Structure 1
Amino acid sequence: MNLGIIGQAVGLFAVTNVDDILILALFFAQGAGHRGSTGQYLGFAAILVVAVAAALGATFLPEPVIPYLGLLPLALGLKAAWQAWKHRGEDGDDEDRTQAGGPTSMAVAAVTLANGGDNIGVYVPVFATAGVGGMSVYAVVFLILVAVWCSAGRFVATRPVIGTALARWGHVLLPVVLIAIGLLILVEGGAFGL
Protein backbone atom coordinates (compact mmCIF):
# COMPACT_ATOMS: atom_id res chain seq x y z
CA MET A 1 0.00 0.00 0.00
CA ASN A 2 1.09 3.53 -0.72
CA LEU A 3 1.95 5.29 2.56
CA GLY A 4 1.05 8.65 1.00
CA ILE A 5 -2.56 7.67 0.37
CA ILE A 6 -2.80 6.13 3.86
CA GLY A 7 -1.61 9.41 5.37
CA GLN A 8 -4.09 11.34 3.25
CA ALA A 9 -6.87 8.98 4.34
CA VAL A 10 -5.95 9.44 8.02
CA GLY A 11 -5.93 13.23 7.64
CA LEU A 12 -9.19 13.33 5.67
CA PHE A 13 -10.94 11.11 8.19
CA ALA A 14 -9.68 13.16 11.12
CA VAL A 15 -10.77 16.51 9.75
CA THR A 16 -14.16 15.36 8.51
CA ASN A 17 -14.99 13.57 11.76
CA VAL A 18 -13.68 16.00 14.37
CA ASP A 19 -17.27 16.92 15.23
CA ASP A 20 -18.12 13.24 15.84
CA ILE A 21 -15.76 13.02 18.80
CA LEU A 22 -17.97 15.34 20.82
CA ILE A 23 -21.14 13.49 19.80
CA LEU A 24 -19.53 10.13 20.60
CA ALA A 25 -18.33 11.49 23.93
CA LEU A 26 -21.90 12.49 24.75
CA PHE A 27 -23.17 9.02 23.82
CA PHE A 28 -20.51 7.32 25.92
CA ALA A 29 -21.16 9.71 28.81
CA GLN A 30 -24.79 8.55 28.71
CA GLY A 31 -23.68 4.96 29.11
CA ALA A 32 -23.99 3.81 25.49
CA GLY A 33 -20.91 1.59 25.88
CA HIS A 34 -20.65 -1.00 23.11
CA ARG A 35 -23.85 0.28 21.45
CA GLY A 36 -22.07 3.56 20.68
CA SER A 37 -19.29 1.76 18.82
CA THR A 38 -21.69 -0.52 16.92
CA GLY A 39 -23.91 2.40 15.97
CA GLN A 40 -20.92 4.46 14.83
CA TYR A 41 -19.82 1.61 12.55
CA LEU A 42 -23.32 1.18 11.11
CA GLY A 43 -23.73 4.90 10.45
CA PHE A 44 -20.26 5.31 8.99
CA ALA A 45 -20.68 2.24 6.76
CA ALA A 46 -23.81 3.88 5.34
CA ILE A 47 -21.84 7.09 4.72
CA LEU A 48 -19.16 5.10 2.86
CA VAL A 49 -21.71 3.25 0.73
CA VAL A 50 -23.31 6.51 -0.39
CA ALA A 51 -19.95 8.21 -1.03
CA VAL A 52 -18.52 5.28 -3.00
CA ALA A 53 -21.67 4.93 -5.10
CA ALA A 54 -21.67 8.65 -5.86
CA ALA A 55 -17.95 8.62 -6.64
CA LEU A 56 -18.35 5.69 -9.02
CA GLY A 57 -21.09 7.66 -10.76
CA ALA A 58 -18.79 10.66 -10.90
CA THR A 59 -16.17 8.63 -12.77
CA PHE A 60 -18.46 8.82 -15.79
CA LEU A 61 -18.00 12.58 -15.84
CA PRO A 62 -15.62 14.03 -18.41
CA GLU A 63 -12.09 14.38 -16.98
CA PRO A 64 -12.08 18.22 -17.07
CA VAL A 65 -15.23 18.36 -14.89
CA ILE A 66 -13.85 16.30 -11.95
CA PRO A 67 -11.81 19.12 -10.32
CA TYR A 68 -15.00 21.17 -10.04
CA LEU A 69 -16.30 18.63 -7.53
CA GLY A 70 -14.12 20.60 -5.10
CA LEU A 71 -16.93 23.15 -5.10
CA LEU A 72 -18.96 20.77 -2.91
CA PRO A 73 -16.69 20.73 0.18
CA LEU A 74 -16.01 24.43 -0.40
CA ALA A 75 -19.75 25.15 -0.31
CA LEU A 76 -20.21 22.93 2.76
CA GLY A 77 -17.35 24.75 4.50
CA LEU A 78 -18.82 28.13 3.67
CA LYS A 79 -22.21 26.96 4.93
CA ALA A 80 -20.65 25.66 8.16
CA ALA A 81 -18.76 28.94 8.57
CA TRP A 82 -22.00 30.88 8.06
CA GLN A 83 -23.78 28.70 10.65
CA ALA A 84 -20.93 29.16 13.12
CA TRP A 85 -20.96 32.92 12.57
CA LYS A 86 -24.75 33.11 12.78
CA HIS A 87 -24.82 31.19 16.06
CA ARG A 88 -21.75 32.79 17.64
CA GLY A 89 -22.15 33.44 21.32
CA GLU A 90 -24.96 30.90 21.72
CA ASP A 91 -24.56 27.98 24.06
CA GLY A 92 -24.45 24.55 22.42
CA ASP A 93 -27.49 22.36 22.59
CA ASP A 94 -25.71 19.05 22.21
CA GLU A 95 -27.94 17.25 24.69
CA ASP A 96 -30.76 17.35 22.14
CA ARG A 97 -28.69 15.05 19.90
CA THR A 98 -28.86 12.20 22.36
CA GLN A 99 -31.57 10.21 24.08
CA ALA A 100 -31.97 9.95 27.83
CA GLY A 101 -30.94 6.64 29.37
CA GLY A 102 -28.31 5.78 26.80
CA PRO A 103 -28.99 5.60 23.08
CA THR A 104 -29.46 2.39 21.11
CA SER A 105 -27.07 1.32 18.35
CA MET A 106 -29.61 2.42 15.74
CA ALA A 107 -29.94 5.85 17.37
CA VAL A 108 -26.16 6.30 17.28
CA ALA A 109 -26.12 5.10 13.63
CA ALA A 110 -28.90 7.52 12.70
CA VAL A 111 -27.09 10.46 14.29
CA THR A 112 -23.81 9.43 12.62
CA LEU A 113 -25.47 9.23 9.20
CA ALA A 114 -27.40 12.47 9.66
CA ASN A 115 -24.21 14.21 10.78
CA GLY A 116 -22.30 12.73 7.82
CA GLY A 117 -23.59 14.92 5.00
CA ASP A 118 -20.38 16.93 5.04
CA ASN A 119 -18.37 13.70 5.00
CA ILE A 120 -20.17 12.50 1.87
CA GLY A 121 -19.72 15.87 0.20
CA VAL A 122 -15.97 15.75 0.83
CA TYR A 123 -15.44 12.04 0.15
CA VAL A 124 -17.15 11.95 -3.27
CA PRO A 125 -14.67 14.17 -5.14
CA VAL A 126 -11.70 12.64 -3.32
CA PHE A 127 -12.90 9.10 -4.10
CA ALA A 128 -13.70 10.01 -7.71
CA THR A 129 -10.15 11.18 -8.30
CA ALA A 130 -8.57 8.29 -6.33
CA GLY A 131 -9.97 5.48 -8.48
CA VAL A 132 -11.16 2.08 -7.27
CA GLY A 133 -7.84 1.09 -5.69
CA GLY A 134 -7.54 4.40 -3.86
CA MET A 135 -11.17 4.21 -2.71
CA SER A 136 -10.46 0.77 -1.25
CA VAL A 137 -7.51 2.09 0.72
CA TYR A 138 -9.55 5.05 1.97
CA ALA A 139 -12.43 2.77 3.01
CA VAL A 140 -10.19 0.33 4.91
CA VAL A 141 -8.31 3.13 6.69
CA PHE A 142 -11.60 4.90 7.53
CA LEU A 143 -13.13 1.75 9.01
CA ILE A 144 -10.03 1.15 11.15
CA LEU A 145 -10.15 4.76 12.31
CA VAL A 146 -13.79 4.43 13.41
CA ALA A 147 -12.47 2.23 16.25
CA VAL A 148 -9.90 4.90 17.10
CA TRP A 149 -12.64 7.55 17.07
CA CYS A 150 -14.84 5.47 19.37
CA SER A 151 -11.93 5.10 21.79
CA ALA A 152 -11.29 8.85 21.57
CA GLY A 153 -14.96 9.53 22.24
CA ARG A 154 -14.84 7.29 25.29
CA PHE A 155 -11.67 9.08 26.44
CA VAL A 156 -13.20 12.53 25.92
CA ALA A 157 -16.32 11.48 27.81
CA THR A 158 -14.15 11.05 30.89
CA ARG A 159 -12.10 14.28 30.41
CA PRO A 160 -14.23 17.40 30.88
CA VAL A 161 -11.44 19.80 29.87
CA ILE A 162 -11.00 18.15 26.44
CA GLY A 163 -14.73 17.95 25.86
CA THR A 164 -15.08 21.64 26.65
CA ALA A 165 -12.29 22.59 24.24
CA LEU A 166 -13.85 20.57 21.40
CA ALA A 167 -17.24 22.06 22.10
CA ARG A 168 -15.70 25.52 21.97
CA TRP A 169 -13.51 25.22 18.84
CA GLY A 170 -14.90 22.33 16.77
CA HIS A 171 -17.39 24.60 15.01
CA VAL A 172 -14.49 26.83 13.89
CA LEU A 173 -12.13 24.04 12.81
CA LEU A 174 -14.65 22.19 10.62
CA PRO A 175 -15.43 25.07 8.20
CA VAL A 176 -11.73 25.96 7.87
CA VAL A 177 -10.85 22.38 6.98
CA LEU A 178 -13.74 21.93 4.53
CA ILE A 179 -12.89 25.17 2.73
CA ALA A 180 -9.22 24.13 2.56
CA ILE A 181 -10.13 20.71 1.13
CA GLY A 182 -12.41 22.27 -1.48
CA LEU A 183 -9.76 24.79 -2.52
CA LEU A 184 -7.11 22.06 -2.65
CA ILE A 185 -9.23 19.93 -4.99
CA LEU A 186 -9.96 22.93 -7.20
CA VAL A 187 -6.33 24.07 -7.35
CA GLU A 188 -4.79 20.60 -7.82
CA GLY A 189 -7.28 19.84 -10.58
CA GLY A 190 -6.67 23.15 -12.35
CA ALA A 191 -10.30 24.28 -12.08
CA PHE A 192 -10.99 27.84 -13.22
CA GLY A 193 -7.45 27.98 -14.64
CA LEU A 194 -5.89 27.88 -11.15
Structure 2
Amino acid sequence: MNLGLVSQAAGLFAVTNIDDIVVLALFFAQGAGHRHAARAIASGQYLGFAAILAVAVAAAFGATFLPERAIPYLGLIPLALGLRAAVHAWRDRGRDEEGQHQRTGPGGPRMLEVAAVTFANGGDNLGVYVPVFATAGVGGMSFYGVVFLVLLAAWIAAGRYFATRPVIARALSRWGHILLPVVLIGIGVLILIEGGAFGL
Protein backbone atom coordinates (compact mmCIF):
# COMPACT_ATOMS: atom_id res chain seq x y z
CA MET A 1 0.00 0.00 0.00
CA ASN A 2 1.30 3.43 -0.95
CA LEU A 3 1.44 5.35 2.34
CA GLY A 4 2.05 8.57 0.45
CA LEU A 5 -1.21 8.15 -1.45
CA VAL A 6 -3.05 7.24 1.76
CA SER A 7 -1.72 10.40 3.42
CA GLN A 8 -2.68 12.48 0.40
CA ALA A 9 -6.21 11.06 0.34
CA ALA A 10 -6.59 11.46 4.12
CA GLY A 11 -5.34 15.04 3.99
CA LEU A 12 -7.67 15.89 1.10
CA PHE A 13 -10.64 14.46 2.99
CA ALA A 14 -9.77 16.24 6.25
CA VAL A 15 -9.25 19.64 4.63
CA THR A 16 -12.49 19.50 2.65
CA ASN A 17 -14.69 18.09 5.43
CA ILE A 18 -13.45 19.63 8.69
CA ASP A 19 -16.64 21.67 9.10
CA ASP A 20 -18.76 18.52 8.92
CA ILE A 21 -17.66 17.50 12.42
CA VAL A 22 -19.38 20.56 13.88
CA VAL A 23 -22.56 19.89 11.91
CA LEU A 24 -22.50 16.21 12.91
CA ALA A 25 -22.07 17.09 16.59
CA LEU A 26 -25.09 19.39 16.34
CA PHE A 27 -27.12 16.67 14.65
CA PHE A 28 -26.16 14.15 17.34
CA ALA A 29 -27.08 16.66 20.04
CA GLN A 30 -30.44 17.21 18.35
CA GLY A 31 -30.99 13.46 18.21
CA ALA A 32 -30.11 12.80 21.86
CA GLY A 33 -32.78 10.66 23.47
CA HIS A 34 -34.39 9.69 20.14
CA ARG A 35 -34.40 6.04 19.11
CA HIS A 36 -32.48 5.30 15.91
CA ALA A 37 -31.26 8.92 15.61
CA ALA A 38 -27.60 7.86 15.44
CA ARG A 39 -28.40 5.39 12.66
CA ALA A 40 -30.32 8.04 10.72
CA ILE A 41 -27.46 10.54 11.08
CA ALA A 42 -24.78 8.04 10.02
CA SER A 43 -26.89 6.77 7.10
CA GLY A 44 -27.66 10.31 6.00
CA GLN A 45 -24.01 11.31 6.16
CA TYR A 46 -22.99 8.32 4.04
CA LEU A 47 -25.82 8.88 1.58
CA GLY A 48 -24.98 12.56 1.13
CA PHE A 49 -21.26 11.90 0.80
CA ALA A 50 -21.82 9.02 -1.63
CA ALA A 51 -23.80 11.45 -3.79
CA ILE A 52 -20.87 13.90 -3.70
CA LEU A 53 -18.48 11.12 -4.77
CA ALA A 54 -20.85 9.98 -7.54
CA VAL A 55 -21.09 13.50 -8.97
CA ALA A 56 -17.31 14.00 -8.68
CA VAL A 57 -16.58 10.69 -10.46
CA ALA A 58 -19.14 11.45 -13.19
CA ALA A 59 -17.67 14.92 -13.70
CA ALA A 60 -14.14 13.48 -13.80
CA PHE A 61 -15.29 11.28 -16.69
CA GLY A 62 -16.72 14.32 -18.45
CA ALA A 63 -20.38 13.98 -17.50
CA THR A 64 -22.28 17.12 -16.57
CA PHE A 65 -25.06 15.83 -14.33
CA LEU A 66 -24.67 18.91 -12.15
CA PRO A 67 -23.77 22.05 -14.14
CA GLU A 68 -21.10 24.14 -12.44
CA ARG A 69 -23.38 27.19 -12.34
CA ALA A 70 -25.93 25.17 -10.32
CA ILE A 71 -23.53 24.29 -7.49
CA PRO A 72 -23.84 27.61 -5.59
CA TYR A 73 -27.62 27.16 -5.44
CA LEU A 74 -27.09 24.03 -3.31
CA GLY A 75 -26.80 26.58 -0.50
CA LEU A 76 -30.58 26.85 -0.61
CA ILE A 77 -30.84 23.35 0.93
CA PRO A 78 -29.11 24.03 4.29
CA LEU A 79 -30.63 27.53 4.28
CA ALA A 80 -34.16 26.08 4.02
CA LEU A 81 -33.45 23.37 6.60
CA GLY A 82 -31.92 25.96 8.92
CA LEU A 83 -34.96 28.20 8.63
CA ARG A 84 -37.20 25.21 9.30
CA ALA A 85 -35.13 24.29 12.38
CA ALA A 86 -35.35 27.91 13.55
CA VAL A 87 -39.15 27.83 13.24
CA HIS A 88 -39.27 24.59 15.26
CA ALA A 89 -36.96 26.08 17.90
CA TRP A 90 -39.21 29.15 18.14
CA ARG A 91 -42.35 27.02 18.50
CA ASP A 92 -40.71 24.86 21.20
CA ARG A 93 -39.20 27.76 23.14
CA GLY A 94 -41.66 27.36 26.02
CA ARG A 95 -41.18 23.62 26.41
CA ASP A 96 -40.07 22.49 29.82
CA GLU A 97 -36.32 21.83 29.74
CA GLU A 98 -36.54 18.52 31.54
CA GLY A 99 -39.21 17.22 29.22
CA GLN A 100 -37.27 18.40 26.24
CA HIS A 101 -34.24 16.28 27.06
CA GLN A 102 -35.98 13.06 28.05
CA ARG A 103 -37.18 12.07 24.61
CA THR A 104 -37.24 8.36 23.91
CA GLY A 105 -39.53 8.13 20.91
CA PRO A 106 -38.57 8.21 17.27
CA GLY A 107 -37.57 11.58 15.93
CA GLY A 108 -34.51 13.76 15.76
CA PRO A 109 -32.69 14.44 12.50
CA ARG A 110 -34.03 12.50 9.53
CA MET A 111 -31.72 10.59 7.22
CA LEU A 112 -32.66 12.56 4.10
CA GLU A 113 -32.26 15.89 5.91
CA VAL A 114 -28.74 14.93 7.01
CA ALA A 115 -27.98 13.68 3.49
CA ALA A 116 -29.22 16.94 1.95
CA VAL A 117 -27.10 19.07 4.28
CA THR A 118 -24.05 16.85 3.69
CA PHE A 119 -24.46 17.06 -0.08
CA ALA A 120 -25.05 20.81 -0.11
CA ASN A 121 -22.18 21.49 2.27
CA GLY A 122 -19.93 19.35 0.10
CA GLY A 123 -20.74 21.18 -3.11
CA ASP A 124 -17.48 23.13 -2.90
CA ASN A 125 -15.63 19.82 -2.46
CA LEU A 126 -16.44 19.00 -6.06
CA GLY A 127 -14.10 21.74 -7.26
CA VAL A 128 -11.27 19.91 -5.47
CA TYR A 129 -12.27 16.29 -6.05
CA VAL A 130 -12.99 16.49 -9.79
CA PRO A 131 -9.49 17.49 -10.98
CA VAL A 132 -7.87 15.06 -8.53
CA PHE A 133 -10.10 12.21 -9.69
CA ALA A 134 -9.63 13.13 -13.35
CA THR A 135 -5.86 12.72 -13.05
CA ALA A 136 -5.95 9.69 -10.74
CA GLY A 137 -7.54 7.24 -13.17
CA VAL A 138 -10.05 4.53 -12.31
CA GLY A 139 -7.76 2.78 -9.83
CA GLY A 140 -6.83 6.02 -8.11
CA MET A 141 -10.47 7.14 -7.89
CA SER A 142 -11.42 3.81 -6.32
CA PHE A 143 -8.60 4.17 -3.81
CA TYR A 144 -9.63 7.72 -2.90
CA GLY A 145 -13.24 6.59 -2.55
CA VAL A 146 -12.34 3.76 -0.16
CA VAL A 147 -10.15 6.02 2.00
CA PHE A 148 -12.83 8.72 2.07
CA LEU A 149 -15.56 6.28 3.12
CA VAL A 150 -13.39 4.78 5.87
CA LEU A 151 -12.53 8.25 7.18
CA LEU A 152 -16.19 9.22 7.03
CA ALA A 153 -16.88 6.61 9.74
CA ALA A 154 -14.19 8.29 11.87
CA TRP A 155 -15.82 11.69 11.20
CA ILE A 156 -19.20 10.38 12.33
CA ALA A 157 -17.63 8.85 15.45
CA ALA A 158 -15.88 12.15 16.19
CA GLY A 159 -19.13 14.10 15.82
CA ARG A 160 -20.87 11.73 18.20
CA TYR A 161 -17.91 11.82 20.61
CA PHE A 162 -17.94 15.60 20.82
CA ALA A 163 -21.72 15.67 21.24
CA THR A 164 -21.50 13.27 24.21
CA ARG A 165 -18.62 14.89 26.15
CA PRO A 166 -20.16 16.21 29.40
CA VAL A 167 -19.16 19.86 28.96
CA ILE A 168 -19.94 19.96 25.23
CA ALA A 169 -23.10 17.89 25.68
CA ARG A 170 -24.40 20.32 28.31
CA ALA A 171 -23.66 23.28 26.05
CA LEU A 172 -25.27 21.61 23.03
CA SER A 173 -28.20 20.47 25.15
CA ARG A 174 -28.80 24.06 26.22
CA TRP A 175 -27.93 25.88 23.01
CA GLY A 176 -28.00 23.22 20.26
CA HIS A 177 -31.56 24.06 19.21
CA ILE A 178 -30.29 27.59 18.48
CA LEU A 179 -26.85 26.65 17.12
CA LEU A 180 -28.14 24.12 14.58
CA PRO A 181 -30.32 26.56 12.61
CA VAL A 182 -27.65 29.28 12.91
CA VAL A 183 -24.96 26.95 11.53
CA LEU A 184 -27.19 25.62 8.75
CA ILE A 185 -28.33 29.10 7.73
CA GLY A 186 -24.72 30.30 7.87
CA ILE A 187 -23.55 27.43 5.67
CA GLY A 188 -26.33 28.10 3.19
CA VAL A 189 -25.63 31.81 2.98
CA LEU A 190 -21.88 31.20 2.68
CA ILE A 191 -22.35 28.75 -0.19
CA LEU A 192 -24.67 31.18 -1.98
CA ILE A 193 -22.32 34.16 -1.51
CA GLU A 194 -19.07 32.34 -2.36
CA GLY A 195 -20.65 30.85 -5.45
CA GLY A 196 -22.10 34.14 -6.61
CA ALA A 197 -25.67 32.84 -6.61
CA PHE A 198 -28.36 35.41 -7.44
CA GLY A 199 -25.59 37.82 -8.40
CA LEU A 200 -24.31 38.09 -4.80
TM-score tier (shorter): 0.5 to 0.7
Measured after TM superposition, the shift of residue 161 of structure 1 is 5.6
Matching residue within 32, 41, 45 for 1:36? 41
1:24 equivalent in structure 2: 24
Matched, 1:128 2:134: yes
CA distance in 1, matches of 2:42, 2:5: 26
2:4 equivalent in structure 1: 4
Structure 1 segment 1-194 matched on structure 2, within 5 A? 1-31=1-31, 32-57=37-62, 96=82, 99=85, 102-159=108-165, 160=167
CA distance in 1, matches of 2:2, 2:136: 12
The residue type equivalent to 1:45 in the other structure is: A
Measured after TM superposition, the shift of residue 54 of structure 1 is 0.6
User: Secondary structure of 1:17's partner?
Assistant: helix
**1:132-185 CA deviation, whole Å, 9 max, x = no partner?**
111110000001111111001101212456999xx9xxx9xxxxxxxxxxxxxx
2:34 equivalent in structure 1: none
- The alignment's TM-score, normalised by the length of structure 1, stands at 0.61
Measured after TM superposition, the shift of residue 98 of structure 1 is 7.7
Measured after TM superposition, the shift of residue 104 of structure 1 is 0.6
How much is the aligned-residue C-alpha RMSD, in angstroms? 3.0
Q: Identical aligned pairs, as a percentage?
A: 65
Change in 2 beyond 3 A, CA 1:136/1:3: same
Measured after TM superposition, the shift of residue 52 of structure 1 is 0.6
Change in 2 beyond 3 A, CA 1:97/1:37: farther
CA distance in 2, matches of 1:139, 1:97: 33
CA distance in 2, matches of 1:5, 1:121: 20
Q: Is the 8 A contact 1:27 1:98 kept in 2?
A: no
Aligned length: 134
- The alignment's TM-score, normalised by the length of structure 2, stands at 0.59
User: Secondary structure of 1:10's partner?
Assistant: helix
**1:110-146 CA deviation, whole Å, 9 max, x = no partner?**
1100111111111001111111111110000001111
Q: Is the 8 A contact 1:10 1:145 kept in 2?
A: yes
Measured after TM superposition, the shift of residue 10 of structure 1 is 0.6
User: Secondary structure of 2:62's partner?
Assistant: helix
CA distance in 1, matches of 2:83, 2:146: 28
Measured after TM superposition, the shift of residue 97 of structure 1 is 7.3
CA distance in 2, matches of 1:18, 1:48: 17
- Show structure 2 runs of 5+ residues with no match: 32-36, 73-78, 89-106, 173-178, 180-185, 187-200
Q: Is the 8 A contact 1:39 1:105 kept in 2?
A: yes
The residue type equivalent to 1:6 in the other structure is: V
Say which one has the larger Rg. Answer: 2
Change in 2 beyond 3 A, CA 1:108/1:56: same
